[in-house]
Structure 1
Amino acid sequence: MQSSRGYLIRSLNEWILDSGWTPHLVIDAEIQGVMVPEQFINDGQIVLNITPSAVQSLLIDNEAVSFSARFGGVPMNVFAPMVAILAIYAKENGMGMGFGTEPGCEALYQDDEPDNDPTPPEPSPKASGRPSLKVVK
């Protein structure tokens, strides 16, 4: 099944604009493939205004959000895969929606530091014998 995140972001963006408010995206800047102005990243996240007067060529599809904008007068192409979008909300009242992390996206985080730890990780403790379900695709 395809992720609903792209559909929800498109709908919420339209709703926010129709209400006369200013849509903002919260993006996890540490996900691989994210292209945002690094000088505005705070605690690994960036908040971007995506109102039509602030961006050009806004594209919200099922895979990513992309647009062009000026940051400090410098033009830049912005790109964020859907898994990097953490929230969309209206600046004026905070109404919108936040998104959790999707299963399996841990591998998408950028690894800036090489793993120099010579000790192998400890094995995880065995399950307590309770049954569990596993999604098989």
Structure 2
Amino acid sequence: MKPTPIKPYLMRAIHEWCSDHGYTPYLVVAVRGKLQVPMEFVKNGEITLNVSYNATRNLQLGDDFVHFSARFNGVSRDIVVPIGAVVSLFARETGEGMAWEPEFAEEGTEESERVSSLRPVSAAPEALSASEPDVASGDDTEPDDTPPPAPPAGRGHLRVVK
């Protein structure tokens, strides 16, 4: 009998710590093989996902897979990530967390076949509210190290509305 790996337990603990302290947990996933992630947001073979309870629906940090639904540019998508593809889980605000080496299943193995056939249970469309936060509004991509552009010179463009 194969022993249960410690990684899923550590991931759940870090996620709980982030949630308890009001931090935003980010999950970095190495994209290779059959993953169910929005490929248009993949950069340099990795995708960074906001996995806070506010940004996800039906989040499950299981022993083998991470499952959840999230909105990307206003469209709800089901995300399925094998635990082995998780590179790190950290708090956006502090950078504290943990990193791991990605472990990919070989093609034709039982785990790689389960990824391609697995479909998480998603919420009914009417249960999704219009006020739900948009995951792809900037929180799901890798943080930029470049400073924001300087504001234009001159007077501001604010006006008082009564």
TM-score with structure 1 length normalisation?
0.73
CA contact (8 A) 1:67 1:77 kept: yes
How many Å apart are 1:29 and its aligned residue?
1.3
1:44 aligns with 2:45: yes
Any idea what SS the aligned residue of 2:71 has? strand
CA contact (8 A) 1:33 1:79 kept: no
- The whole-number CA distance in structure 1 between the counterparts of 2:105 and 2:40 is 24
Deviations 1:6-54 (A, max 9, x none): 1110011000111110000000111x33111111000110000011110
- The whole-number CA distance in structure 1 between the counterparts of 2:102 and 2:75 is 31
Aligned residues: 106
1:2 aligns with 2:1: no
Unaligned runs of 5+ in 2: 113-162
Deviations 1:59-101 (A, max 9, x none): 0110010100110011100000000111000000100000113
Any idea what SS the aligned residue of 2:54 has? coil
Any idea what SS the aligned residue of 2:19 has? helix
CA contact (8 A) 1:27 1:85 kept: yes
- The whole-number CA distance in structure 2 between the counterparts of 1:25 and 1:52 is 13
1:65 aligns with 2:74: no
- Once the two structures are superposed, the pairs formed by residues 30-41 of structure 1 within 5 Å of their partners are 30=32, 32-41=33-42
Any idea what SS the aligned residue of 1:107 has? coil
- The whole-number CA distance in structure 2 between the counterparts of 1:45 and 1:100 is 13
Which structure is higher in strand share? 1
- Once the two structures are superposed, the pairs formed by residues 114-125 of structure 1 within 5 Å of their partners are none
TM-score with structure 2 length normalisation?
0.62
In the alignment, what sits opposite 1:107? Answer: 106
- The whole-number CA distance in structure 1 between the counterparts of 2:18 and 2:44 is 26
Unaligned runs of 5+ in 1: 111-137
From 24, 46, 58, give the equivalent of 1:22: 24
CA contact (8 A) 1:33 1:80 kept: no
- What fraction of aligned residue pairs are identical, expressed as a percent? 34
CA contact (8 A) 1:12 1:96 kept: yes
Any idea what SS the aligned residue of 1:12 has? helix
CA contact (8 A) 2:66 2:83 kept: yes
Deviations 1:89-123 (A, max 9, x none): 00001000001134xx3625x9xxxxxxxxxxxxx
